[in-house]
Structure 1
Amino acid sequence: MTAIYRHLLNLFLLLILAALPLGLLNMDEKVSIDLDGMVTVIKEFFRGLFSGEAWYYSQGGRARLILSDLVSYFLSSYLYLIISAIIVMIISISLGIFLWKKTNRWINASLGFIGMVPDFLLVLMLQMAVVYINKSLGVKTFKVASSSIDDPAIFLPILTLILIPAIYLVRSLSEATSEITTEDYILLAKSKGLGKKYIYLYHVTTNVLPFLKADLHKVISIMIGNLFIVEYLYNTRGLTSFIFVHSSKFGYQYNLVIICLLSLFVLYMFCYYSLRLLLAAAERWLAK
């Protein structure tokens, strides 16, 4: 019941935050909040869910069904996130478990540097670096932004999405591996003459994977937070760009924003359980 109340509270806060831009008024050089107007917008949204009006958004002089466009944007965001998340898991397991002794020093240094760099500045630095390399070599390497739906940028958006989560997860798994390698059952395995690769694969990894599963919520939350910056600056087609592009072109539409934000929650759950299935398959393979 506590989880249900928490989700309802989050939904309530989401409804208020989405209505806030419509409730802020600039009157006589003073900012005021129109609470009645916000409540009216929220009531109209719920009425529109049953009447059908809330499922359409304005695109200039015509109305389009939100779901007809939302699915493709959702799938695009999901593919970027799930591919990036799988890469993050592979990197974190490789460096955080099998090479944990060699990664501690540079991981701490990297976290200190990247932690000071805002996400949007990191994107701009990567884009400028690619432009410089392209001009220096005289060849095209990676796209700095998507030019169209059929010609999307892939490498840089995925690189941006994996950097911070990968460094965080490698450090987390390195600490867990450091503790587990001192346990009695690991020392017993060494005393029996078992190989290092065998011990790390079947004893250390199986006991570190629960730490990885516990960190999945944080990792996916970080990646979805970065998704707002990535989709906007790389001009990629996704849920957050659906909000930004249509709001800038056709004005702020409360029903569109709410449905897209709720879709982000669904996206979060899709990514989380997809990764849990992969980890369950890996655990089952290691248990054989």
Structure 2
Amino acid sequence: MARFVQQMVIIFFLIIFLAALPIMITINPEENSIEWTFQYVPEAIGNFIIQLSQGSLGTYQVGYQERPIADDIGDNFMTSLTIMIVGVNAGLILSLIFGIFISRFRMTKVFNFVMNILSAIPDFILIVFAMLFAIKFYKWTGIRIISLRPDAGAMNTWFPTMLIGMAPALYMFKLISVKYYQTGGEDYIRTAVAKGMKLNYINFHHVFKNIEPFIHAELVKVISLAIGNLFIIEYILNVQGITKFIFQSFEVQAMAVGLFAMLLISFIVYVSVRILFYLFKRGFIHE
């Protein structure tokens, strides 16, 4: 318990420090050098705690208008949370399906080859290529699949959701494919095949059970990849998500609230993935 409290305190001060970076870094025009003004950090921490103790999240600047953060953060939080939950879980489901349960088909081998090529390309480049393809697709067919308007509804969220799921799917598919072929050469798998067990039974009760710990060990990294892409996607596609408080304001209060919200989103997504795996085992493996 004491270690958990210690970690939470460290995370709290680290987030406040990151949010205060814009006001800590100044440029000295006379010497053309960067100067650090750490004296603002205690004041920033104090103001943040005072605002919370008063039951307020503070305010942030939108153009020339100052708005309460609490009035806008709800919708933005739910937008980012929905994109993250659907994207990450869909990416993991696809990687499991193609990496384990239909990996014996020839189509999956072609899919594996394509995924290995895509996994070598940086996520930012893939996002840009996906946007260019969406624009070309609209020119070829007249069907709009992407919108940069923040009030476009589902059209402004489904494409970012697909892009968010791309990084987890690529990363986990590569991991699962490698572990699948490693596990397939184990003696207990050969024994199960020799006994005449069905392939689906072997995949569910032997292969998946032995690959699952590796998947759980990589969940934090997968969610970190998705969070990193969320910053890029919401900014480029003009999605009114939680990163709005980080990009549109250099105020400590707004940035700190945005970073804490991102941390909460990461935790909720992690829990949702664990629940998904629990339901999967209860429904298909009957554990």
| TM-score relative to the length of structure 1 | 0.86
Report % sequence identity: 27
The structural deviation recorded for 1:169 is 0.2
Partner of 1:23: 24
Residues of 1 paired with 2:8 and 2:117: CA distance?
37
Partner of 2:282: 284
Partner of 1:159: 162
Q: Match of 1:271, as an amino acid?
A: V
Residues of 1 paired with 2:206 and 2:117: CA distance?
29
CA deviation vs aligned residue, 1:61-98 (integer Å, no higher than 9, x gap):
76543223212111111110111112111111112113
Partner of 1:109: 117
Partner of 2:184: 181
Secondary structure of 1:95's counterpart equals helix
Partner of 1:259: 257
CA deviation vs aligned residue, 1:225-272 (integer Å, no higher than 9, x gap):
110001011111210023323x2xxxx221111111111111111111
Residues of 2 paired with 1:90 and 1:68: CA distance?
35
CA deviation vs aligned residue, 1:108-154 (integer Å, no higher than 9, x gap):
33222x13xx51x43332222222222123x1231142341546423
Give the length in aligned residue pairs. 278
Contact 1:97 1:174 in 2 (8 A): yes
Q: How well do the aligned residues superpose, as a CA RMSD in angstroms?
A: 2.3
Map 1:37-56 → 2, pairs under 5 A: 37-52=40-55, 54-56=57-59
Map 1:68-87 → 2, pairs under 5 A: 68-87=71-90
Secondary structure of 1:148's counterpart equals coil
Q: Match of 2:171, as an amino acid?
A: Y
- Specify whether residues 24 and 219 from structure 1 end up closer, same or farther in structure 2 by C-alpha distance, changes over 3 A only: same
Q: Match of 1:7, as an amino acid?
A: M
Residues of 2 paired with 1:181 and 1:151: CA distance?
42
Contact 1:235 1:241 in 2 (8 A): no
Q: Match of 1:95, as an amino acid?
A: F
Residues of 2 paired with 1:195 and 1:54: CA distance?
57
- Specify whether residues 156 and 22 from structure 1 end up closer, same or farther in structure 2 by C-alpha distance, changes over 3 A only: same
- Specify whether residues 280 and 24 from structure 1 end up closer, same or farther in structure 2 by C-alpha distance, changes over 3 A only: same
Contact 2:60 2:254 in 1 (8 A): yes
Instruction: Give the stretch that moved more between structures: 77-86 or 3-12.
Output: 3-12
Secondary structure of 2:201's counterpart equals helix
Map 1:130-169 → 2, pairs under 5 A: 130-137=134-141, 139-148=142-151, 150=153, 152-169=155-172
The structural deviation recorded for 1:161 is 1.2
Partner of 1:272: 270
Instruction: Give the stretch that moved more between structures: 13-22 or 260-269.
Output: 13-22
Aligned partner (choices 225, 230, 241) of residue 228 of structure 2: 225
Partner of 1:7: 8
Q: Match of 1:212, as an amino acid?
A: I
Residues of 2 paired with 1:88 and 1:53: CA distance?
36
Instruction: Give the stretch that moved more between structures: 259-268 or 31-40.
Output: 31-40
Contact 1:80 1:158 in 2 (8 A): yes
Instruction: Give the stretch that moved more between structures: 88-97 or 121-130.
Output: 121-130
The structural deviation recorded for 1:173 is 1.0
CA deviation vs aligned residue, 1:154-191 (integer Å, no higher than 9, x gap):
34312321222211101111122122222333222211
